[in-house]
Chains A and B, each alone.
Chain A
Amino acid sequence: MKKLLLLGDEAIAKAALDAGLSGMYAYPGTPSTEIMEYIQSSEDSSDHKVHREWSSNEKTAIEAALGMSYAGKRAMVAMKHVGLNVAADGFINSAITGVNGGLIIVSADDPSMHSSQNEQDSRFYGKFAFVPCFEPSNQQEAYDMVFDAFEISEKYKSPVLFRITTRLAHSRASVNLRPGLPQKELSLPVDPLQFVLLPAIARGKYKSLLSSYESLRYDSLISKYNNFKDGNKRDLGIITCGIAYNYFLENVGDSIDNFPVLKITAYPFPKDLIKHITGRCKEILILEEGAPVLEEALRGILDDGIKIYGRLDGTVPRDGELNPAIVAKAIGLPLSYGQAVPSLVKMRPPSFCNGCGHADMFNSLIDAIKPYGSGHVFSDIGCYTLAALPPYNIINSCVDMGASVTMAIGASDAGLFPSVAVIGDSTFTHSGMTGLLDAVVKNSSVTIIISDNSTTGMTGGQKSQATGRIQQICKGIGVNPDHLRSIVPLRKNHSENVCTLKEEFEYKGVSVVIASRECIQTATRRKRSGNSMNNSIS
């Protein structure tokens, strides 16, 4: 049997290719990015002509994947957890239309916010949309589950949510591979109205969605991933969801025989198994990576049943990622520590790279905005968010993709002058363009700086949909060409750039300043490999 050393992300990607994937759709986002990257660089993809271009955002990605599914082929879409908020409209409604070819939506959650604005648990979305959800506990399960997820998707005509967390996404282990399956042939849905959610049609489809969700939990493709193991003692029963099982096993080792354990890695919740373990134990400890999804369900509002320990009573911290120490404490095992960190060790937060164009742009912005005082700069999500930290301390917001533009509009409406937005090129085409259209239509008094490094930088330099198109997009949206300015953020252009920014701050209408300089990371890589810009992916 062939074995590969794969990240959790890569195991999912490889499994999708081996399961006959025809189209992969995604927008980069930590910790999900490596799924698409694996598929783009895999020989399997080029051999079998798998579609694998980045999408403008998660919503366009999920809709394209649904179109691939409409045409009868297997499709996968991957995003970070907050991307599922962007894609939620398509996601929720795809559950009601149902699918034709198998469709898997991978949502990579980031508990502890290693590289995110929030921590949210995608399993809520599974229940919300009434779709089956898989939550593998290790790389091998992640690989194997993809095959079953496609099968169950086609069997129930339902999209399948595939929930992973940072630790699995970015941890490598050896994975045994299966023989590859061929891609599906093009075949249209039998019912030509399957994807037409007119109210009269949608009502009927929603009823059948509700009833099929109930029968899902008893399907062997789901139930084989939920397993109960009895223990010698009946005092404390353990229920683990997803990766939490590993931390439990790490701590108890061979003495696992002392505990009745229910390991859950597929949803809807296995009601019968939960009744079984709660019926035979005095107390239950629930270990979940993420939100207390099962714990809340089990306690209910009344919380007057069996004694439950978990995140809601403080046995496990309410927020943040699990680790071996947290789980040891929860099961009452002694903790061992090495030595304390010496007090001289200082924090080392992330910072702009040497030679970063964002940094030079911010230096000009700082000087240009100085006369107006602080509190005028809305920003967005990308490397440039680091300008919130010293020594820059210049941006006042980072909320969600594209919010810099629209928050600047609202603040300007309220009377803030000047009202400035700083947004990256890839973030601009993800969700900034529609906000710019609002500004143009209203003739808001805003200055929008598009800090264009010709890549999606923070996630490691993926192709940006904006590259070479920003000028035209802004013109097309209707920005007055006299106030569509371009600067090159280099130290030698500092005073000139300060002047340009000051002029545009004073303009009482929409102005856009495009600050273009290639990301130093991608530029360095390109020079080393001798490639021309942005042709690394065919």
Chain B
Amino acid sequence: MKNDIILAGVGGQGILSIAASIGLAAVANDLFLKQSEVHGMSQRGGDVQSHLRLSDKPVSSDLIPYGKADLIISVEPMESLRYLPWLSDKGWLVTNSNPFINIPDYPSLAEILKEIKKIKNHIIIDADVIAKESGSARSGNIVILGAASPFIDMPFTSLENAVRKLFGSKGDHIVDTNLKALNAGRECSIGLRI
């Protein structure tokens, strides 16, 4: 088993929470794991990425080689395209459809979505709307994690447990809304795939 995952977004959008959830689940499943993060200056509204590698064998490189990623998980549509050189032929791209516009020359959303739809295996969901319906507008990142979960080779319950653990210190209400968000994202994704 090997899952090489690229997480993409803009600084402050919560991709490290997605990474932490998958990481906790991987440890619970006794998998080997390496997860490379971006800290520092880029976190100020710049593009950020995380390389997450899960395997049942030891992982060597902290970085995923080009063309070897099984999955791109993006919380922002334009950012999902930035990492296509890493995506393998059979890989999946799962992205939020809501743009984060903090640059003057942000391209048209229609054009971006057209490019994403050219990728053989893609899931585009409106994570912001689903997050609001689940009770917290701020859990869009966890909705996206849910939407990506069918493509991660770990039992879904282990991701649920990871979310419980990650948000546990913030109280039952936050845990519940995030679990709702996780499940809603997953259902939406499975629906789109059929």
Contacts and interface: CB of A to CB of B under 8 A. Distances in A.
Nearest to B31: A174
A201 to B, nearest CB: 42
Contacts of A30: 39-41
B36 A167 contact: yes
A342 B39 contact: no
Interface string B93-115: 00000000011011100011001
B33 A172 contact: yes
A249 B41 contact: no
B44 A338 contact: no
Given A249-B60, A352-B44, A174 B84 contact: no
Contacts of B67: 336-338
Interface string B7-39: 000111000000100011001000011111111
A114 interface: yes
Interface in A204-229: none
A5 B23 contact: yes
A172 B51 CA distance: 10
Contacts of B43: 350, 460
B65 A328 contact: yes
A196 interface: no
Interface string B135-162: 0000000000000000000000000000
B40 A5 contact: no
Interface in A344-360: 344-353
B88 interface: yes
B63 A167 contact: yes
B118 to A, nearest CB: 8
B23 A170 contact: no
B132 interface: no
A330 B105 CA distance: 37
A198 interface: no
Interface in A26-76: 30-31, 33-34
A353 B24 contact: no
A373 to B, nearest CB: 25
A7 B37 contact: yes
A352 B24 CA distance: 32
B176 interface: no
A351 B39 contact: no
Contacts of A386: 44
Contacts of B86: 338
A537 interface: no
B44 A170 contact: no
A341 B11 contact: no
B82 to A, nearest CB: 5
B65 A250 contact: yes
Interface in A1-27: 3, 5, 7
Interface in A310-352: 323-325, 328, 335-342, 344-352
B66 A335 contact: yes
B40 A459 contact: yes
Contact of B107 (A337, A344, A383): A344
- Chain A CB count within 10 A is highest, among B23, B64, B102, for B102
Interface in A117-133: none
A246 interface: yes
A325 B43 CA distance: 25
B66 A338 contact: yes
Contacts of B172: none
Contacts, number: 155
B85 A5 contact: no
A31 B33 contact: no
B102 to A, nearest CB: 6
B36 A345 contact: no
Nearest to B24: A5
B163 interface: no
Contact of A346 (B62, B84, B103): B103
A243 B62 contact: yes
A458 interface: yes
Given A5-B24, A172-B37, A338 B85 contact: yes
Contacts of B42: 114-115, 350
A341 B39 contact: no
A514 interface: no
B27 A350 contact: no
B44 A351 contact: yes
Contacts of B81: 341-342, 344-345
Contacts of B59: 173
Contacts of B126: none
Contact of B27 (A5, A115, A246, A323): A5
A30 B64 CA distance: 22
A140 B91 CA distance: 30
A346 B107 contact: yes
Contacts of A337: 66-67, 85
A328 B61 CA distance: 12
B4 to A, nearest CB: 11
Interface string B61-77: 11111111100000000
- Chain B CB count within 10 A is highest, among A7, A174, A325, A335, for A174
A342 B115 contact: yes
A423 interface: no
A34 B84 CA distance: 30
B70 to A, nearest CB: 11
Contacts of B44: 350-353, 383, 386, 458
Nearest to A8: B62
Nearest to A33: B39
A393 interface: no
A341 B66 contact: no
Contacts of B47: 348
20 contacts: A3-B27, A30-B41, A114-B38, A114-B41, A170-B37, A172-B23, A172-B33, A173-B33, A250-B61, A323-B65, A325-B65, A338-B91, A346-B107, A348-B46, A348-B47, A349-B103, A351-B44, A351-B102, A353-B45, A458-B44
Given A5-B33, A351-B46, A386-B44, 19 more contacts: A5-B27, A33-B39, A114-B41, A171-B34, A171-B62, A174-B27, A174-B32, A250-B61, A324-B66, A337-B67, A338-B85, A339-B119, A345-B81, A348-B10, A348-B45, A349-B103, A352-B45, A458-B44, A459-B40
By Cβ-Cβ distance, the 4 closest A-B pairs, closest first, are A115-B40, A30-B40, A336-B67, A350-B46
Interface of A: 3, 5, 7, 30-31, 33-34, 114-115, 167-168, 170-174, 243, 246-247, 249-251, 323-325, 328, 335-342, 344-353, 383, 386, 458-460
